[in-house]
Amino acid sequence: MYQDNLIITLNSKNATLQNSTLKSSVNFNFVSVLKEEDDIVRSYISVINAQIPMSYYVITSANNQFCYNTMSPVDVITLYIPVGNYNSYTLCEKLTSLFLANGKTITITVSSVSGIINFAQSSSVFTIYPYTVNGISLVFSTIAPILGLTSTVIYSGTSINGNYPLNLLGTKRINIKSNALAINSMSSTTLSFNTTIATIPADYPYFSMISYENNNNLNKNIIKVPTIENIDIQLTDDDDKLIDFNNFDWTITLCLSIEREEKEKDNITLKDILKHTILTNTENKNNIEILEEKILTQDEKDLELLQK
């Protein structure tokens, strides 16, 4: 048995983009990356290294809605926080300016000790709706988990505190997925098998670059399919949602390891073949002579019997 390694370098700028400038779902149109061969015992795939930009945002279009009202719960106002990366100060500043644009003066602070946000309005009762019903459709404060608010509670008062600290950590890891590179993996997100081939910690500052190196064999996984015609890659966050890389490119290096069964080497030389032929011919000649001798002897015996 021996191992045959194929290094595969991927760059998103060479790929067919499946979600445009998000660049988190792509396809590489290789030809016959892996094909069925008689000597293949099994194949493995591993991520050797990856260079992924921290170009995505904490606040996205999926979590930037804030629903509130300062008077009646009938008329719910929805603010949309511009997508981007924020710290506690810049987020409070942005929310304050959005309230002012709607004619409301709300004082927003975050405790330096507990990290909990506070909304205060002395003139009247202020109501925050992590969820509400607007006509026949649900309108959510999708930013509620980031602000430390419970998504099933309506908050009301002149001073409102969150239940938990402000959470601006964003994505804590990046999942590298592929349907073509089929392996066995599971996730608590779905409590079932999925297509993840590796996970990378996202512990770098925003607008920098993750530089990942695989220093062990734990990410070496058996491929469950005999052939691979192309390679698809999806990069997802903690919730298995595709990441928006804001048109930044990433690179990943894979290693396809193929275990092959070594065939027995044929060590017979031309000299051996000739020797074998000569011996065989000699043996056949001797056998023929012995047979002829036996036949002749038998004929002589038969002739003697006739003469008697």
Provide the sign of the torsion angle of the four alpha carbons 274, 278, 281, 284, taken in this order.
negative
Q: pLDDT in tens for each of the 308 residues of the chain?
A: 888 899 999 999 999 999 999 999 999 999 889 988 888 899 999 999 999 999 999 999 989 999 888 765 557 888 999 999 999 999 999 999 999 998 888 999 999 999 999 999 877 788 888 764 554 455 678 999 999 998 778 888 899 999 999 999 999 999 999 999 978 888 887 788 889 999 999 999 999 999 999 987 666 889 988 999 899 999 999 989 999 999 999 999 999 999 998 776 555 655 566 565 665 566 555 655 554 565 556 555 555 555 55
Cα separation of 67 and 137, whole Å? 14
Domain boundaries in the chain?
2-56+171-260, 65-161, 269-308
Residues in the chain: 308
Q: What is the CATH number assigned to the segment(s) 2-56+171-260?
A: 2.60.120.1100
Edge-to-edge strand order for the sheet containing 173-177?
16-17, 25-28, 231-236, 173-177, 196-201
The beta-carbon contacts of 84-88 under 8 Å, at least 24 apart in sequence, are 84/57, 84/58, 84/59, 85/57, 85/58, 85/59, 85/170, 85/206, 85/207, 86/58, 86/59, 86/168, 87/168, 88/115, 88/117, 88/166, 88/168
Cα separation of 207 and 175, whole Å? 19
**Contact between 80 and 97 (Cβ < 8 Å):** no
Please give the backbone phi and psi of residue 27, each rounded to the nearest 5 degrees, phi first: -135, 135
**Contact between 189 and 196 (Cβ < 8 Å):** no
**Contact between 73 and 134 (Cβ < 8 Å):** no
**Contact between 26 and 15 (Cβ < 8 Å):** yes
Q: pTM, whole model, 2 decimals?
A: 0.79
Cα separation of 183 and 196, whole Å? 8
pLDDT at 76: 80
